[in-house]
Amino acid sequence: MSDKSKQFKQALDDHHQWPCPYVYKFIVPAESLGSFQELFSSEKLETRQSKTGKYTSVTMTSTMCSADEVMAVYEKAARIPGIMSL
């Protein structure tokens, strides 16, 4: 695990009491939205398309039980080409 990942995990543990709802926000290129929705098909996703239609913002709220679970979702999302995690 990189130092940056360790710092992020520590920050999550410092600021959250597990289990708790965790809000994810992503910016997904329009051509990758289907792949994202397929990857997270069991989650409730709120989407909003950009004015130009090139991107879609996605908000996903899930109940997480640990910082490791949160990080696993970010790693899973990173498989989508061009995705930005906020």
pTM: 0.89
**pLDDT score at 1:** 74
Owning domain of residue 68? 3-85
**pLDDT score at 26:** 97
**pLDDT score at 2:** 85
DSSP string covering the chain, please?
A: --HHHHHHHHHHHHH--SSEEEEEEEEEEGGGHHHHHHHTTTS-EEEEE-TTSSEEEEEEEEEESSHHHHHHHHHHHTTSTT-EE-
Question: Residue 21 pairs with which residues in a beta bridge?
Answer: 63
CATH code, domain carrying 20: 3.30.70.260
pLDDT tens digits, 1-35: 788 989 999 999 999 999 999 999 999 999 999 99
Identify the residue whose tokens are 């410092």. 14
pLDDT tens digits, 32-84: 999 999 999 999 999 999 999 999 999 999 999 999 999 999 999 999 999 99
CB 68 within 8 A of CB 9: yes
- What is the total count of domains within the chain? 1
**pLDDT score at 24:** 97
